[in-house]
């Protein structure tokens, strides 16, 4: 089958489009014919390689997929050949205490599919295998590309805002990197929860996009003093929640922007892992710093319910064909995107 893959970590020249072995279906697994996939920033980390993270090589990336089941392994009863499905990006043992109590994210063998699995195991391929528990029916009102984009970002945002930060109606939430995949779902979810989202973004075009996604206010990292802007917009009080995945460069500003008793929730650090902060803020303002990582199957079901109810819509803004994948990844890395980017794999378009 055709896939985008790499044999070693590095720059764009490590990416190959070519033939790799077809997946084989073990007991408990299903094989999908991929119709569409969607990008996540994790794909960039996978290509580059991360310190202390061993990714199986050769690697096919891609954690978000929508497709048709073409083969089911022994013992798989719930999923049938021909089912149109989307994929939950968590591969776990399903039998340990953490898995059994519905906290797959704490399973000791939990791996993000299409990132830590492999070799040759992700969504940027004509076929892929996943655990049968990872698939759910495709929301039928969505295109294949939109369906593919309903998983990782939305799920991560749900866990960050609902489970970890316990965002509620009336809260004010500062959303960094608001125009991207994670950020735009955060704006949509704030709207659903009745929270007031203050988006931080970096251009006129992105500002307009953020307003379509649910931003009540927009601050501009390219020209505004974000802390001063937050003070003005909140009458000097600060925000209840900071939603962050940018990390090092914005963390000191986030700490200043938080109201007393505020919460900072973080799932990533695109601009670095080693922030400098004045710890006195932590105890004097009695802040909470919360880490969050992808989400549980149950949280994904909650997300999909919002999608089915048309309250949240995958913000796919551009689609690329599979061989054009490198151009999509470059646009993401160079910060030239809004919302989610999709990859068309099947020939349905």
Ligand X SMILES: NC(=O)c1ccc[n+]([C@@H]2O[C@H](COP(=O)([O-])OP(=O)(O)OC[C@H]3O[C@@H](n4cnc5c(N)ncnc54)[C@H](OP(=O)(O)O)[C@@H]3O)[C@@H](O)[C@H]2O)c1
Which chain residues interact with ligand X by CB under 6 A?
40-42, 45, 152-153, 156, 177-183, 201-202, 206, 221, 245-246, 267-268, 270-271, 293-294, 332, 335
Does position 96 interact with Zn ion (CB under 5 A)? The reply is yes
Tokens representing 200? 């931080």
**Pairwise CA distance, residues 186 & 161, whole Å:** 8
Q: Which does 307 bind (CB under 5 to 8 A by kind): Zn ion, ligand X, none?
A: none
Q: Which does 270 bind (CB under 5 to 8 A by kind): Zn ion, ligand X, none?
A: ligand X
Q: Which does 126 bind (CB under 5 to 8 A by kind): ligand X, Zn ion, none?
A: none
Nearer to ligand X, 127 or 164 (CB): 164
Q: Which does 115 bind (CB under 5 to 8 A by kind): ligand X, Zn ion, none?
A: none
To Zn ion, the closest distance from the beta carbon of 50 in angstroms equals 23
**Pairwise CA distance, residues 312 & 302, whole Å:** 11
Does position 92 interact with Zn ion (CB under 5 A)? The reply is yes
Tokens representing 62? 């891609």
Nearer to ligand X, 311 or 335 (CB): 335
- 3-state class (DSSP) for residue 50: strand
Tokens representing 119? 């070799």
Tokens representing 238? 């600060």
Using CB positions, name the residue nearest to ligand X.
180
To ligand X, the closest distance from the beta carbon of 180 in angstroms equals 2
Q: Which of 15, 93, 208, 326 binds Zn ion (CB under 5 A)?
A: 93
Nearer to ligand X, 173 or 246 (CB): 246
Q: Which of 37, 90, 99, 125 binds Zn ion (CB under 5 A)?
A: 99
DSSP state string for 26-38: -TTEEEEEEEEEE
Q: Which does 99 bind (CB under 5 to 8 A by kind): Zn ion, ligand X, none?
A: Zn ion
Question: What sign for the dihedral angle of Cα 262, 266, 269, 274?
Answer: positive
Burial (CB < 10 A; 0-12, 13-18, 19+), residue 243, is: buried
**Pairwise CA distance, residues 230 & 243, whole Å:** 14
Is the distance from CB of 231 to CB of 238 less than 8 angstroms?
Answer: yes
Does position 72 interact with Zn ion (CB under 5 A)? The reply is no
Is the distance from CB of 112 to CB of 156 less than 8 angstroms?
Answer: no
**Pairwise CA distance, residues 292 & 253, whole Å:** 20
**Pairwise CA distance, residues 177 & 175, whole Å:** 7
DSSP state string for 172-186: EEEETTTTSHHHHHH
To ligand X, the closest distance from the beta carbon of 284 in angstroms equals 28
Among positions 100-139, residues that touch Zn ion (CB under 5 A) are 107
Whole-angstrom CA distances from 88 to 78, 133, 148 are 16, 8, 10
Nearer to Zn ion, 125 or 294 (CB): 294
Ranges assigned E (strand) in 181-238: 196-201, 217-220
Nearer to ligand X, 30 or 110 (CB): 110
Q: Which does 96 bind (CB under 5 to 8 A by kind): ligand X, Zn ion, none?
A: Zn ion
Nearer to ligand X, 20 or 266 (CB): 266
Q: Which does 294 bind (CB under 5 to 8 A by kind): Zn ion, ligand X, none?
A: ligand X
Q: Which does 180 bind (CB under 5 to 8 A by kind): Zn ion, ligand X, none?
A: ligand X
Residues near Zn ion (CB under 5 A) are: 92-93, 96, 99, 107
């Amino acid at each position: 089958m055709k896939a985008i893959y790499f044999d070693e970590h590095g720059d764009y020249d490590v990416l190959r489009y070519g033939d790799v072995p077809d997946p084989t279906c073990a007991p408990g697994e299903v094989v999908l014919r991929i119709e569409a996939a969607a990008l996540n920033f994790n794909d960039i980390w996978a290509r580059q390689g991360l310190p202390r993270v061993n990714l199986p090589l050769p690697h096919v990336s891609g954690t978000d997929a929508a497709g048709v089941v073409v083969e089911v392994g022994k013992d798989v009863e719930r999923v049938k050949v021909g089912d149109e499905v989307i994929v939950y990006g968590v591969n776990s043992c399903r039998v340990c205490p953490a898995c059994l109590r519905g906290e797959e994210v704490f399973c000791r063998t939990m791996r993000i599919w299409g990132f830590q699995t492999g070799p040759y195991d992700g969504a940027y391929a004509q076929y892929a295998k996943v655990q049968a528990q990872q698939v759910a029916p495709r929301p039928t009102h969505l295109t294949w590309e939109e369906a593919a984009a309903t998983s990782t970002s939305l799920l991560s945002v749900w866990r960050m805002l609902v489970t970890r930060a316990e965002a509620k109606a009336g809260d004010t939430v500062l959303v960094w990197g608001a125009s991207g995949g994670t950020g735009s779902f955060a704006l949509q979810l704030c709207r659903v929860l009745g929270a007031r989202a203050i988006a931080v973004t970096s251009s006129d075009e992105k500002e307009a996009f953020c307003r379509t996604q649910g931003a009540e206010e927009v601050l501009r990292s390219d020209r505004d003093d974000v802390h001063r802007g937050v003070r003005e917009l909140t009458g000097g009080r600060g925000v209840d929640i900071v939603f962050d995945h940018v990390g090092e460069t914005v963390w000191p500003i986030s700490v200043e922007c938080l109201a007393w008793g505020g919460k900072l929730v973080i799932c990533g650090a695109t601009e670095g892992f080693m922030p400098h902060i004045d710890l006195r803020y932590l105890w004097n303002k009695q802040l909470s710093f919360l880490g969050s990582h992808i989400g549980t199957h149950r949280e994904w079901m909650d997300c999909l319910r919002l999608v089915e109810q048309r309250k949240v819509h995958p913000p796919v803004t551009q689609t690329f064909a599979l061989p054009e994948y490198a151009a999509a990844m470059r646009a993401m890395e160079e910060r030239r995107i809004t919302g989610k980017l999709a990859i068309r794999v099947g020939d349905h378009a």
